[in-house]
Structure 1
Amino acid sequence: MLNLFPRLSKDCESITRRSFLQVGTLAGTGMGLSLPTLLAAKKAQANSPSSDVNCIMIWSRGGTSHHDTVDPKPDAPVSVRGEYKTIDTSIPGVRFTEHVPKLAASLHRYALMRSWNPQNGSHGLADQYVMSGRKFNPALAYPTMGSVVSYHKGFKSAMPPFVQLGNSIDRRFGGGTAGILGLEHNPFELNADPASDKFKVPDIQPPTGVDLKRVERRRGILSQIDDLQRQIDLQPEAYSALDENYQAALNMITATETQAAFDMAAESEETREKYGKHSFGHRCLLARRLIESGVRFVTVTDGGWDNHQNLFKSLAENKLPKADQGISALIEDLDERGMLDNTLVVWLTDFGRTPNVNSASGRDHWASAGFIVMAGAGVPPGHILGETDATGSHPTRDEYKTSSIVSTIYAKLGIPQDLLAHTADGRPIRMIEGTPIKEWM
């Protein structure tokens, strides 16, 4: 439950306040962030942003095959090239596989790297490493990019600065979380399906039977209780600050911009069809709406890419059509709305897949080659960076590692390359390693 209003109760130390009146429920689970915790940092984050560029990150959990999407090897033996044919793209001489026709037709709108070296072939570690740019350290939890943006830039509206759509992130090693930056910089996590006719966001709406007038009455009761509490409270300043955080949470619940951001019915039928009437497509559409409403960083998650068997059937019938439609529609929509100048779109995944198709008609984990897609924020559209060898095993030129990918994203978002944060004991930690990709800067 979302506890906005605490109550008086006793413990062994003194009189403290606990939950008294509850306004809503939390949709997120696990590492999902409650509103009071998320908003606790709002007042402290008064930094003037050096850039107003926002980011939508697509996370394909499991390891999307570069061979079977944007880096096919049509001249290789069938044991390498697989079952798919290839097609032309909007950039002469560049070919994709037949199952991503929309991405092929819109290649002139985004940049593609075919020379990413993931340096990792392990699930969980990939979620942590690719989303933070820092290799796993069991003694130090490096934060994900969205959390760093939340930490450095803070709020620019009633909306949370960092939102995650879907829960397809492996968090065993801290992937997708705020780490040392603290719980208030974790994502506002939304797992409800925006493609559903019954889509709603419990975190921003009072529960059944509690309207906003009733919320106001409860706030009045809280004020009276707080007056009594402050007379005996040993830390009045701390409670005063906490009250501001609860007020900020209430403001988010009642803000018209919050309700409007999640109102998928406001989109035309044509737009919803363009993105695809499936969970992934509508998460891409909702991501655009959230950026328009003041969210700085949105992670769109999509699971089911770990295809060790029946890869070609699974991709062709399920994963590729949805990704092809949703990602291409998002980039085109942002472009046509004039939003690509200040919105960076990034498609990331765990790692690549093995050059050779295995005996179960699948591909296994591959730590030496993969792809990256970026669009907007000054990334040169239609630019193809790097290449792999004849079997897609290793980059042969313009090789870049994960730290450079993340460094580039931060540079585009106006995050200082020398940004420091501090652990609970005051130890300074550098947030960014590597150098930005020069060809995309």
Structure 2
Amino acid sequence: LNGLAERKNLLRSFDHMRRDVDAKGMLKGMDTFNEQAFGLLTSSRLADALDLSKEHPHTVERYGTGDPTKFIDGNGAPRVPQSMLIARRLIEAGARVVTLNYSKWDWHGGMKAEGRDNNSIFVREKEDFPIFDKCVSALIEDLHQRGMDKDCSVVIMGEFGRTPKISNIVGRDHWPQVNCALVAGGGMKMGQVIGATDRIGGEASQRPVKFGELYSTLYHNLGINTNEVTLNDINGRPQFLVEDNAQPMPELV
């Protein structure tokens, strides 16, 4: 009942904000995209998308529930797999891009990191990865079952890889030489492993893929031609969306 009351209060606050903004004429100064975003944030569709009680219990169970009490260590996001289910519902409600953070971002520490056994990366991996594997596979399966796999792209990645050798605290540091990404949906050709590294994961040994190629592929899925579309920088000069004339990956499109 408390949760229901909180959702009602949230929806009521959206309604008040919408009426206040309309009365002040602020919507007239927004461009089309900002107006669409504001419309989603102030509509009942957002509250509906966040309400998992409207989802079939089997679907909620398929994504998993996780344990939201185990993430609190000062440098991470909630380890809550239902976030991926909410992401799917947000797309159905009209959102065009949804970004999620999952679990701990700091993977430097090894055994007894920060003086706590339960904070070591080895313990965290054993806890995190099974939960993550379950909710990611559920999301991809769900998108296919709903016929959304051709229109919705899923990208799972970080900013960089991790050092192939362990550090002096039995952890992994930043390693920009090699990274990896998992992509699905978007009408792309699936069932592939593109590229390879040496045996220790230190350097790319086959088909190095640049970030720009992946970004160009995602823009392609959105119907944006990176060879033509530009955005003006703060000095008013047009800049292409990706560097080095990067093109969509032929293996995927």
TM-score tier by shorter-chain length is 0.7 to 0.9
Offset of 1:429 from its aligned partner? 2.1
In structure 2, the CA distance between the partners of 1:322 and 1:199, relative to structure 1 (3 Å rule), is farther
Once the two structures are superposed, the pairs formed by residues 41-440 of structure 1 within 5 Å of their partners are 205-207=11-13, 222=23, 241-242=28-29, 252=40, 255-278=43-66, 279-308=79-108, 309=110, 310-317=120-127, 319-417=128-226, 418-423=228-233, 425-433=235-243, 434-440=246-252
Aligned equivalents of 2:208, 2:140: Cα separation in 1: 25
- Amino acid across the alignment from 2:148: M
Structure 2 match to 1:25 = none
CA contact (8 A) 1:204 1:252 kept: no
Q: Any idea what the Cα deviations from partners look like across 1:46-88, whole Å, max 9, x if unmatched?
A: xxxxxxxxxxxxxxxxxxxxxxxxxxxxxxxxxxxxxxxxxxx
CA distance in 1, matches of 2:42, 2:103: 33
* Higher strand content, 1 or 2: 1
For residues 432 and 203 of structure 1, the distance between their equivalents in structure 2, rounded to whole angstroms, comes to 43
Cα distance in 2 between the residues matched to 1:206 and 1:270: 30
CA contact (8 A) 1:280 1:326 kept: no
Greater relative contact order (Cα < 8 A, sep 6+): 1
8 Å CA contact 1:204–1:253 kept in 2: the answer is no
Would you say how many aligned residue pairs link Structure 1 and Structure 2?
226
Q: How far apart are residue 198 of structure 1 and its match?
A: 6.7
- Distance (Å, rounded) in 1 between the aligned partners of 2:37 and 2:241: 28
Separation of aligned partners in 1, 2:61 and 2:221: 31
- 2: distance between equivalents of 1:198 and 1:385? 46
Structure 1: segments with no counterpart, 5+ residues: 1-195, 227-237
Q: Greater share of helix residues, 1 or 2?
A: 2
Rounded to whole Å, the distance in 2 between the matches of 1:303 and 1:373 is 17
Structure 2 distance, partners of 1:305, 1:334, is 27
**What is the DSSP-based 3-state SS (H/G/I as helix, E as strand, rest coil) of the residue aligned with 1:374?**
strand
1:91 aligns to what?
A: none
Whichever of the two has the greater Rg, that structure is 1
CA pair 372-198 structure 1, distance change in 2 beyond 3 A = farther
Equivalent in the alignment of 2:72: none
The amino acid that maps onto 2:88 is R
Q: Encode CA deviations 1:217-250: one digit per residue, 9 max, x unaligned.
A: x789x5xxx7xxxxxxxxxxx9782499999898
Q: 1:250 to 1:361 in 2, by over 3 A?
A: closer
Q: 1:243-292 CA deviation, whole Å, 9 max, x = no partner?
A: 99999898656644333222221012221121121453111000000111
Following TM superposition, by how much is the alpha carbon of 1:436 offset from its aligned partner in structure 2, in angstroms? 1.5
Q: Distance in 1 between matches of 2:225 and 2:29?
A: 30
Seen in structure 2, the aligned counterparts of structure 1 residues 436 and 248 have a Cα distance that, compared at 3 Å, is closer
Q: Is the 8 A contact 2:49 2:90 kept in 1?
A: yes
Q: CA deviation at 1:201?
A: 6.7
Alpha-carbon distance between aligned partners in 1 of 2:57 and 2:185, rounded to the nearest angstrom: 26
Aligned AA for 2:12?
P
Kindly provide the amino acid, as one letter, of the partner of residue 361 in structure 1: V
- Contact 1:419-1:432 within 8 A present in 2 as well: no
Identity of aligned residues (%): 31
Flag structure 2 segments of 5+ consecutive residues without an equivalent.
67-78, 111-119
State the Cα deviation string for residues 142-190 of structure 1 (Å, max 9, x = none). xxxxxxxxxxxxxxxxxxxxxxxxxxxxxxxxxxxxxxxxxxxxxxxxx
SS at 1:345 equivalent: strand
Q: What SS does the corresponding residue of 2:99 show, helix, strand or coil?
A: strand
Counterpart AA for 1:385: I
Runs of 4+ in 1 over 6 A off after TM superposition: 243-250
How far the C-alpha of 1:321 sits from its partner, in A, is 2.2
Report if the CA contact (8 A) 1:205-1:253 is conserved. no
After superposition, what is the alpha-carbon deviation per residue over 1:86-121, rounded to whole angstroms, capped at 9, x for unaligned? xxxxxxxxxxxxxxxxxxxxxxxxxxxxxxxxxxxx
Structure 2 contact 18–42 (Cα < 8 Å) conserved: no
- The alignment partner of 1:385 has SS state of coil
Closer/same/farther in 2, CA of residues 299 and 248 from structure 1, 3 Å limit:
closer
Do 2:40 and 2:95's aligned partners in 1 also have CA atoms closer than 8 Å?
Answer: no
Which whole-Å deviations, capped at 9, do the CAs of 1:327-374 have from their partners, x for residues lacking one? 111111111111101111010112111112233232222121121111
Q: Distance in 1 between matches of 2:60 and 2:103?
A: 21
- How far apart in 1 are the matches of 2:80 and 2:105? 13
AA aligned to 1:263 is D
